[in-house]
Amino acid sequence: MITSRLTLRALFSLDLLKCTVLGIAALLIATGPALAQAAGCPNIIFIFSDDHAYQAISAYGYGLNRTPNIDRIGREGMRFDRCLTTNSLCGPSRACVLTGKYSHLNGFYNNANSRFDGSQTTFPKLMHAAGYQTAMVGKWHLISDPTGFDLWDILPGQGVYYNPQMIRNGVTSKQSGYVTDLITDKSLDWLKHRDPTKPFLLMCQHKAPHRNWQPALKNLHHYDGVAFPEPPTLFDDYAGRGKGEHEQDMMIRSTLTAADLKFTPPGDLTQDQRKVWDAYYDPLNARMKELQLSGDDLTRWKYQRYMHDYLACIDSIDESVGKLLAYLKQTGLDKNTIVVYASDQGFYLGEHGWFDKRWIFEESLRTPLLVRWPGVTRPGSVNRDMVSNLDFAETFLDAAGVSVPAEMQGRSLKPVLAGKTPSTWRQSFYYHYYEHPAEHNVPRQYGVITPRYKLVHFYEPEYAYWELFDLKRDPHEMKSVFGKPAYAKVQQELQTELARLRVELKVPDQDPPETMEK
């Protein structure tokens, strides 16, 4: 153990040396400190939101809202159209990002009873050891305290939207304000007071737009008079699919609560804030009750309310991104700072009648990813390769000139960002979700995704069925073709590939006991 630590330390010294050599070379040719750093190791700002559907980023072209600042990251860099998550859930995605490993190797399977082992190797630790200043601000949600950061200032658990408590390097205090603004201000404050002679990693992780979608009070009126277009599958009846889809509990129609729909105000508002809240929602709620809606009309109303609140939360995130980009521009840091925008997973905005995530299906499997990397990525690039949150740790280490540990399971996106995807890039991707039995009643599932097909196994004994989707013919995943003679060859190939991936990725045959509720 001591030997391996020494070896790692020696490696870090070499990594730091690489930066130092570049830094000295830069100093010799540069005229100012920003330029000196510009030729050395890049800074990284990782902006990570929670449950932000790609459909709700205007760069993706769905026409639901406008996110000019998030869009700008893609316009100045690359928009990824096929970034897939390993396990579509808050905690497991965060653990995957930190470790570059699937849940079965990083030990964080689900939000119900997993606890992150902070002693394991993470990319912030490796970057810190290589000379980076590191900070983690916002939603952490991994139960144990963060490790590997000079500063951590996090929400306890999920956190709340208004006047939240936050824990700064172990000390808890109540804050005044809106959570997205607080996370932004704390991130900017750290940037302004950091040591300007060292490169930095800032992880700015938002709570928004997580349920129950409570907007900044100043943004409540943003969508007045807007009727959001309904997705074509809002009234999906799940014909052509199995027991899991029929029995889930994540429906716009029946699962949303009075708190979700803003008939019950949150308890975290001050008296003055509560007045603003009531002045907005009370008249709308009264009008809705007068209408005495039922059936599909009531579902339509719920969808509109859900979308209003969800998108108004995203407006604050876009403002936050704008403030961070403006600071980088003002200080000249934009020239040597990689900016990444991603969410922990995708989200349903009424597709299949759902909100929430969890499934291997497109809206929750995919997550938005936009990256600007000056000097590496051609502005305005669009990429459709299968990339993943599994690749983030490797990418950041590669960018920092730090060796990527062999145990990490993803690949650096640096060549992809440079427009040169290696010919050996993955053509299939493994997915595995574990949180069942639990809220929303979505069964455990694993599967394989290829550019055209998706094969999924719902493997708990009370489910025990397979589905196969042909994304080219059935992009909304409405009808499984598993067992259809026309797909026999494809099905066989996918089953072989799935078995191969499970061996390659060291997936255990049985889910371990720690995936069960204690």
- Which residues make up the interface to Ca ion (CB under 5 A)? 50-51, 90, 344
Q: Toward Ca ion, which CB reaches closer, 311 or 501?
A: 311
Minimum distance from residue 138 beta carbon to Ca ion (Å): 13
Give the nearest distance from C-beta 512 to Ca ion in angstroms.
Answer: 23
Q: In a 3-state reduction of DSSP, which class is residue 47?
A: strand
Nearer to Ca ion, 51 or 309 (CB): 51
CA distance 314 to 402: 34
In the complex with Ca ion, the residue whose CB is nearer, 328 or 349, is: 349
**CB contact burial 272-289 (16+ within 10 A = b; e otherwise):** ebbeebeebbeeeeeebe
User: Can you say how many angstroms the Cα of residue 188 is from the centroid of all Cα atoms in its chain?
Assistant: 21
CB of residue 273 vs Ca ion: minimum separation in angstroms? Answer: 25
Facing residues of 260 across strands? none
Nearest residue to 338 (alpha-carbon basis) of 365, 376, 284: 376
CB closer to Ca ion, 103 vs 336: 103
**Residue 253 has which token pair?**
């129609």
Looking at the Cβ atoms of 351 and 398, the one nearer to Ca ion is: 351
Instruction: Give the nearest distance from C-beta 498 to Ca ion in angstroms.
Output: 25
168: which residues sit within 8 A by CB, 6+ positions away?
151, 152, 153
Number of neighbours of residue 245 by Cβ within 10 angstroms = 22
Provide CB contacts within 8 A for 253, sequence distance 6+. 298, 299, 302, 353
Smallest distance, Å, CB 145 to Ca ion?
A: 20
Nearer to Ca ion (CB atom), residue 90 or residue 501 = 90
Q: How many CB atoms lie within 10 A of CB 116?
A: 24
Give 441 or 495: the residue with its C-beta nearer to Ca ion.
441
362 versus 470: smaller Cβ distance to Ca ion: 362
Phi, psi (5° rounding) for residue 447?
-175, 180
State the nearest-atom distance from the C-beta of 229 to Ca ion, in Å.
Answer: 24
Closer residue to Ca ion, CB minimum distance, 89 or 397: 89
When the beta carbons of 344 and 467 are compared against Ca ion, the nearer one is: 344
Q: How far is CA 217 from the centre of its chain?
A: 25
Amino acid identity at 491: Q
Asked if residue 169 lies in contact with residue 151, where contact means CB atoms within 8 angstroms, the answer is yes
Nearest position to Ca ion, beta carbon: 90
Work out how close the CB of 316 gets to Ca ion at its nearest, in angstroms, rounded to a whole number: 17
At closest approach, how far in Å is the CB of 89 from Ca ion? Answer: 7
Task: Give 87-122 as a DSSP string.
Answer: S-SHHHHHHHHHHSS-HHHHS---TTT----TTS--
How far apart are CB 83 and Ca ion at their closest, in Å?
14
Q: Which helix (H) or strand (E) holds 447?
A: strand 445-449
Q: How far is the CB of 235 from Ca ion (least distance, A)?
A: 26
- Which of 439, 497 has the CB closer to Ca ion? 439
Query: What is the radius of gyration, based on Cα positions, of the chain?
Result: 23
C-alpha distances out from residue 458 to 53, 103, 241, 500, Å: 24, 17, 11, 18
| Closest distance of CB 344 from Ca ion, Å | 4
Distance (Å, whole) CA 9 – CA 2: 10
